[in-house]
Amino acid sequence: QVRLVESGGGLVQPGGSLRLSCAASAISFGITTMGWYRQAPGKQRELVARITSGLSTIYADAVRGRFTMSRDNAKNTVYLQMSSLKPEDTAVYYCNAFPNFYSWGQGTQVTVSS
């Protein structure tokens, strides 16, 4: 059974940083493009970053230059380093495969507020 477990969220002031982690199990992780997604209250879930098996990354315009996605295939884990956080980054963050995703995990809440 596929399992995606996100962690690392929290409350941070504007301009602050957080590092999210997502551990995956029961998928062919090493050959799967993985993505970080987020869903803000009242909005649709959106893709913010993705990373291929070859470590190529693509970022949404809203986060480019502030977020960095990485992966550790030995640990079946992806990371999202978030810096210069803004209130509009407030959302529940999820990881999943891209473009064909598995069942969603519980996500991790990121709140950017002073």
Query: Which residue, among 114, 99, 94, has the nearest Cα to 40 in the 3D structure?
Result: 94
Residues with Cβ within 8 Å of residue 61, at least 6 apart in sequence? none
3-state secondary structure at position 73: helix
3-state secondary structure at position 93: strand
- Over residues 65-90, the pLDDT tens digits come to 999 999 999 999 999 999 999 999 99
Average pLDDT, the chain: 96
DSSP 20: E
Would you state the pLDDT for residue 46?
A: 97
CA distance 90 to 41: 9
- Over residues 7-29, the pLDDT tens digits come to 999 999 999 999 999 999 988 88
